[in-house]
Each structure stands twice: as structure tokens, then as C-alpha cells.
Amino acid sequence: MSGNDKTNGHGVALRVHACAKTFADGTRALEPVTLDVARGETVVLLGPSGCGKTTLLRIIAGLETPDAGGRILFNEADVTRVPIERRNVGMVFQSYALFPNMNVSDNIGYGLKIRGVSEAERKARIAELVALTGIAGLEHRRVDQLSGGQRQRVALARAVAARPSVLLLDEPLTALDAALRERLRGELNRLLRTLGITAIYVTHDQAEAMALGDRIVVMRRGAIAQVGTPRDIYFAPANRFVAEFVGAANILEAECNAGVLLLPGGRLALANDAAAAALNGHANGRIFAMIRPESIRIIAPDGAALTGEVDSVSFVGDRQRAAIGGVAGKPIMVDVPNSTPIKAGDRVGLSVDPGDIRVLAGDTA
Amino acid sequence: MKTTRDCLIFLGQLAFTLLVAAFLIVPAVLSMLAGITSNYFLGVKSGLTLQWVLQVWELYHDTIFRSFLIAFSTLAVTLAVGIPAAYALHLRNDRVSRAVEEIITLPLAIPGLAIALALLLTYGGFSDFRRSWLFILVGHAIFTLPFMVRSVMAVFAAIDVKTLDEGAASLGASPWRRFCDVIVPNARPGILAGSLMVVTLSLGEFNLTWMLHTPLTKTLPVGLADSYASMRLEVASAYTLVFFIMIIPLLTAMQVFAGYRGAASGPKR
């Protein structure tokens, strides 16, 4: 499967230039957005519903036209005015949009048939894709006889059959239940790497985004909040919105004095660069600091720089999540190993590595 | 205890259903019986005969053929106009398209006589056209189009045809290919239901047709009215019988066909 020239290495470099979208009723769905996607790269558009991620995907697909001034380039060629049927894209829809009047192979082979590919070649390609997506044996089924996961695979096979320049996926796993979603996410990841195709993936699920994306574009209110690798987004969120949307985050609003956060529950030292960032924009004033629940450790309260009282503990299997009150303005979340005995009412001390505290631009709260 | 009560309820419902059915069916049976009775005033004891049926056939067989010609031509027109119209209206789905949908539906609310009068006022001067069966076809097409458009649109709404269309477009299909390969095949249940209605309505249409017809372009229902008004009761009844014999097998066949095709390849709901 891998190393096959026919399967591999298609895709273009994609450029979205100043694309905005205002709908006929005056709704501004997308502010001018500029984005470059390298050949073979998987970029995930992540954001809450209504953030413009699907609109951006549809503009790239050619299903929507950007407002004047916006341009879409495939390998430097301007395709803004090219309708979707001539853009050579592959698309996986949230509802899959499989054709109920065709069986599985006819669905997968439709794009090839449209392009006038001979029947023999079509058959070979369908067989290849059926094997690749693990749906062998279902070729002659009608699509309404398939399970959700099978439909998803057929939709994917159909979208890549004609070797599109860009593969566009609009929340392809959202319609599935949690366990299946996780399994297919892994398969999808392997497939995208195998195909080496340029892919744009839309989701509101941050776990999916981190698992699949070479880069993540976090969107909010029609604009890009941050672009970065999953690690960048997680460990160095650009602002409070990104910090809270991606993963769990404690956002502490506190006074900062000489590199030390002053909290109701004690003091918390910042690392030099974080302190510099805090001083840079905010001088000695109130700042927003982000700490992930997993970077906080529970220690003995005696002599700890920061103390609080356990409000509640919830056991989630692989760990426990405790809410600790009295530390900051609102309870802070702390991940505790599942073997540590801890219960509501306990007095605890908290310890955080200064490098794990990030000072945020708080203006977008 | 409970089973006895259930049984009584069932018998009661059965009796009521049969009574209602009889109320509707008995007149139809009596009417058809009159058509094969030698002398209706003397009753069935005067003997049964096919002479009235034969007389109807001789006098009115052209109206029967004309009715079928008009019904299937109406079907052709509503298919050719109605499906693309439904597709366009569904895809646009804005204020303009809703207004158009309402306008298409208007002929249902306007009395057929008024539509016929409007057609006569406008096109009555084109005498060749006015004298041909095509004039009636126009009236029937106007009257039946909403049924085709509405039933096709209902299927479009149920199967999310917009996404199917986008799916086919993303695979490289031109609008025409999409329409032929994806839209029409998936709208088939609605198209069949609409076709059934259009043919039925056209075959039985009287109001409009009565205004639009000429002595040489009578349809079956107009012929019926004619025979009721001017022939003896047995002939009129025999005509009804012929009408039944023609239309019931046709409707049954279309229904069976629709059910079969719908079950075999229509989208499962």
C-alpha cells in the first residue's frame, strides 16, 4: 500500500489569501483569513460552532465564493472562480452524502467514471481503496445497509479515489459514537500519512485536532485565533480563548509583583521569560496566568508556598480531577494520580514548576 | 376478561368500518349495475346486457383515447418542467423561491373555471391552438404541476439533496450529470407519487376541461357529463362502468409499480 506511486504523493500547496465571507443576509461568517498549507500537510480547522471553520472549508472547496479580494490558490494557480467540479478536490461530508441509488463500489468509482477512466482501471482503483480502507466484501452492498463506521470509510474512499489535489473533511467523525470515533481517528491518521495528501480537516473536537493535525488553526468568531503545531497550541496558547478551548486550563487572574503571582492561597513564582512577558505588556498589574491541571502537584500543606482546600474530587479512571478552593478567585483543577488518597475537605499544598505557568494576553476573555 | 373486551372492541370497529365502506361502495356498485341492466326502471329482473356498454364504446371511445393522450402528455410536461423546477426551488430556498412555490400552487385554490376563462380570454384568438387538444393540455399542466413539484420537493427535503448534490459536484460532476445521476434517481419515490397524482387528476379533471373543450376535443369526464345530460340512464351508467374499467387497472398498475420501485431502490427512511 505505501510506496505505491499511484496512491502516494498527490496534493498541492494551498494558499488562502484574505478570504472573507459575508452572507446575503449580511451575516459576517468569516473575517479576512490568510493561510498557507504545504503540500502533503494536514491542517485542522478547530473551533466552536459558528466560528467560521466550515465556511472556510467550503470556500476552499469551491462551494462558497469569498467576498471580493479573497483568493484561493492551488500550487500558485488562482482557482477562486473555478467551480467545485473543476477544482479536483475530494470532500468528506459530516453526513457522508453517499448516493443511496448506488452501491458501495459505484459510490467509490463515481469520480473516476465522471473523469472517463476505463472500467478496468476503475475496478483496480476501487479494489485498492476498498483494501486500504478496510471495507473489502462490502462492494455490492447498498449504502443504507452499512453501519456508520462503514459509511465513513466509503465516503473517505470515494473522496480520494480520483486522486484529488486537496482532501477536505468536514467533521467526518462527529456522527459516530465515542469508541468508534477514537478507532477511526487512528485509522484516518494512518491513511492521511499513507496517502501523503494535502488535507484540511474541520472539527470542534480538540482531541481529534491534536491527534490528526500537523498544524492546528484555532478559529473564533470568524477569525484565526492561533496557528501552530498541536504542541504549540497546547503548551503555548496565544490567548485565553485558545487556552480554554484546547484542553483543560486554569486561568488565574492575579496581581504580579516582581515575577511573583500574588494569590489568595499564597505566592507563585513565574519563570524568567513568563515574568518578562507579564512585565512587558502589563507592568506590575493584574495578569492572566494559565496552568494545565496536569502540571500541578499535590504536596504536604506545611511549608508550601501555595495552599488550599479540596472542594471536590471526581474519579475519571486513569486519574482523579480535584477542584481546590481557596487558592485563587475560583477553584482550580488539579489532576491527581488515581492511587493518591484525596477527599473533599483535605488541606493541601500545591506545587507548580515555574516553566509550566504561561502568562496570557487576557484581552480576549 | 381483557380478551373478551378486546374482541368486542374489534368487532365494533369492524362493523363500523364495513358500514362506512358500504355507504361509499354501494352507490358505485349500483351505478355500474345500472350500466348492464336492460331497463333500469324495471330493475335487474329485466335482464343483464352489454348493449349499453357497446353503445358507449361506439359513441365515446374517442374521448377515452383522448383522455389518456392528454393525461400522459400532461405527465410528460409536468415531469419535464416540475422536476427541474423542484430542484431549483429546493436549492435556492430563499424568499424568491418560496414566492414562486406559492404562485405555482395557486391554481389549486383558484376554481378551474376561472383558470379556463383566463386561458380562453388570452389564447382564444389563436383559433388553431384553441381548437386542438393541446389547449386542454395547457390547462391540465397548469392544474397538476403543483402536485408534481410539491411531491418531488418533499423527497428532496427528506434526503438532504443539497448535500448529495455537493457530494457529486466535489467528485467532478457537472450540474447536468448531477441532475441525471444523483438527483433524479434519488427523487424517484416523489416522482412516482407525483406522476400517479398527475395522471389521476388529469384523467378525472372536469371543471377546466369542460370550459376548454370543443365538440371535437371532448375528454372522458366531459363525455360522461354529456351522456348524463342527454342519454338514457343506462348509457350514462355504462359509461361510468367503462371509466372504472379503464382507470382502476391503470391506477393499480402505477401504484404497484411505484411501491415496487420505491422499495427496491428508493432511499430507506
pLDDT of residue B168 exceeding 90: yes
Q: Find, in chain B, the residue whose alpha carbon is nearest to that of A115.
A: B172
Which three cell numbers, joined as nine digits, stand for A323? 477542584
Name the amino acid, one letter, at A324.
I
Q: Find, in chain B, the residue whose alpha carbon is nearest to that of A24.
A: B94
Other beta carbons within 10 angstroms of residue A65's beta carbon come to 15
Contact in structure between B209 and B221 (CB atoms under 8 Å)? yes
The residue among A240, A263, A298 that closes a domain is: A240
| Span B217-232, average pLDDT | 84
- In angstroms, the separation between the Cα of residue B75 and the nearest Cα of chain A is 23
For residues A203 and A40, give the distance between their C-alpha atoms in angstroms, rounded to a whole number: 19
Specify whether A169 is located in the same domain as A192. Answer: yes
Q: What angle do CA B254, B260, B263 make, to 5 degrees?
A: 135
- Tell me how far apart the 2 most distant CA atoms of chain B are, in Å: 76
User: Residue B65 — φ and ψ, nearest 5°?
Assistant: -65, -40
Residue A7 lies in a domain: no
What's the pLDDT at A252? 87
- In angstroms, the separation between the Cα of residue B177 and the nearest Cα of chain A is 8
* DSSP β-bridge partners for residue A332: A324
What's the pLDDT at A174? 86
Q: Find where cell 467514471 sits.
A: A113
Give residue ranges of B with CB < 8 Å to any A CB. Answer: 94, 159-160, 163-164, 166-174, 177, 181-182, 185-186, 188, 265-268
Name the amino acid, one letter, at A181.
R
| Span B222-232, average pLDDT | 82
Collect all residues with Cβ–Cβ distance below 8 Å to B126 and sequence separation of at least 6.
none
Domain range enclosing A125: 14-240
Q: What angle do CA A236, A238, A244 make, to 5 degrees?
A: 85
Collect all residues with Cβ–Cβ distance below 8 Å to A285 and sequence separation of at least 6.
A255, A256
Distance of CA B106 to the CA centre of its chain: 18
Contact B170 A95 (CB under 8 A): no
Contact in structure between A317 and A304 (CB atoms under 8 Å)? no
Name the amino acid, one letter, at A283.
A
Q: Find where cell 467576498 sits.
A: A67
Strand (E) positions, A150-249?
A: 166-170, 198-203, 215-220, 223-228
Specify whether A142 is located in the same domain as A270. Answer: no
Which of B166, B168, B171 is the closest to A162 by Cβ?
Answer: B171
- Chain A hits for B185, Cβ within 8 Å: 99, 101
Q: How confident is the model at residue B266 (pLDDT cuts 50, 70, 90)?
A: very low
CATH number at residue A29: 3.40.50.300
Instruction: Provide the H-helix boundaries in chain B.
Output: 2-35, 51-92, 95-109, 112-123, 127-131, 133-159, 161-170, 175-178, 184-186, 188-204, 207-212, 220-230, 233-265
For chains A and B, what is the number of CB pairs under 8 angstroms? Answer: 71
Specify whether A287 is located in the same domain as A338. Answer: yes
Q: Find, in chain A, the residue whose alpha carbon is nearest to that of B261.
A: A101
What's the pLDDT at A2? 38
What's the pLDDT at B267? 42
CA-CA distances (angstroms) from residue A104 to A124, B161, B248, B262?
14, 19, 39, 19
Distance of CA B21 to the CA centre of its chain: 22
Nearest in space to B185 (alpha carbons), one of A53, A134, A107, A238: A107
Residue A45 lies in a domain: yes
Specify whether A236 is located in the same domain as A304. Answer: no
- What 3-state DSSP class applies to A121? helix
DSSP states along A259-314? TEEEETTEEEEPPHHHHHHHHHHHSSSEEEEEE-GGGEEEE-STT-SEEEEEEEEE
Q: What is the 3-state secondary structure (H, E, C) of A8-42?
A: CCCCCCEEEEEEEEECCCCCEEEEEEEEEECCCCE
The residue among A208, A240, A272 that closes a domain is: A240
- Chain B hits for A88, Cβ within 8 Å: 172
Q: Where are the domains of chain B?
A: 52-265
Q: Find, in chain A, the residue whose alpha carbon is nearest to that of B269.
A: A144
Specify whether A56 is located in the same domain as A178. Answer: yes
Specify whether A208 is located in the same domain as A321. Answer: no
User: Residue A219 — φ and ψ, nearest 5°?
Assistant: -120, 150
Nearest in space to A92 (alpha carbons), one of A232, A201, A230: A201
- Chain A hits for B265, Cβ within 8 Å: 101
For residues A248 and A90, give the distance between their C-alpha atoms in angstroms, rounded to a whole number: 34
Specify whether A346 is located in the same domain as A270. Answer: yes
Specify whether A352 is located in the same domain as A209. Answer: no
Contact in structure between A326 and A265 (CB atoms under 8 Å)? yes
pLDDT of residue B264 exceeding 60: no
Contact A83 B166 (CB under 8 A): no
What's the pLDDT at B126? 83
Please name the residues between 156 and 195 in chain A that touch chain B, using a CB distance below 8 Å: 158-159, 162, 168
- In angstroms, the separation between the Cα of residue B196 and the nearest Cα of chain A is 21
Average pLDDT, chain B: 85
CATH number at residue A329: 2.40.50.140
Name the amino acid, one letter, at B92.
R
What's the pLDDT at B265? 45
Higher-confidence residue of B164 and B226: namely: B164
Looking at the structure of chain A, the number of domains it has is 2
Q: How confident is the model at residue B252 (pLDDT cuts 50, 70, 90)?
A: confident
The residue among A193, A209, A240 that closes a domain is: A240
Contact B172 A91 (CB under 8 A): no
Residue A8 lies in a domain: no
Nearest in space to B144 (alpha carbons), one of B81, B197, B97, B207: B197
Report the relative pairing of strands A42-46 and A215-220 from DSSP bridges: parallel
Which three cell numbers, joined as nine digits, stand for A70? 479573497
Q: Find, in chain B, the residue whose alpha carbon is nearest to that of A108.
A: B171
DSSP states along A200-212? EEEES-HHHHHHH
Nearest in space to B201 (alpha carbons), one of B153, B254, B129, B262: B254
- Over the stretch B41-76, which tens digit does the pLDDT of each residue have? 777 777 788 888 888 888 888 888 899 999 999 999
What's the pLDDT at B215? 82
Specify whether A293 is located in the same domain as A327. Answer: yes
Q: Find where cell 496557528 sits.
A: A227
Q: Does A114 contact B at CB distance below 8 Å?
A: yes
- What 3-state DSSP class applies to B35? helix
Contact A99 B172 (CB under 8 A): no
Which three cell numbers, joined as nine digits, stand for B185? 434517481
User: Residue B174 — φ and ψ, nearest 5°?
Assistant: -70, 165
Report the relative pairing of strands A198-203 and A42-46 from DSSP bridges: parallel
Report the relative pairing of strands A14-22 and A28-37 from DSSP bridges: antiparallel
Class of the CATH domain delimited by B52-265: mainly alpha
Specify whether A92 is located in the same domain as A217. Answer: yes
* Across B3-7, B206-210, B228-232, least confident range: B228-232
Residue A157 lies in a domain: yes
Which three cell numbers, joined as nine digits, stand for A68? 471580493
Q: Find where cell 480554554 sits.
A: A244
- What 3-state DSSP class applies to A154? helix
For residues A362 and A307, give the distance between their C-alpha atoms in angstroms, rounded to a whole number: 25
CA-CA distances (angstroms) from residue A307 to A286, A291, A321, A346, A348?
21, 16, 17, 11, 6
Best interface-test mutation with A: which of B92, B94, B170 has the largest number of A CBs within 10 A? B170
- The parts of chain A modelled with pLDDT lower than 50 are 1-9, 364-365
Residue A310 lies in a domain: yes
Contact in structure between B201 and B189 (CB atoms under 8 Å)? no
- What 3-state DSSP class applies to A74? strand
Q: Find where cell 500547496 sits.
A: A13
Specify whether A41 is located in the same domain as A116. Answer: yes
Specify whether A186 is located in the same domain as A56. Answer: yes
Which of B94, B170, B267 is the closest to A84 by Cβ?
Answer: B170
For residues A221 and A28, give the distance between their C-alpha atoms in angstroms, rounded to a whole number: 9
For residues A195 and A193, give the distance between their C-alpha atoms in angstroms, rounded to a whole number: 5
Contact A101 B185 (CB under 8 A): yes
Contact B172 A162 (CB under 8 A): yes
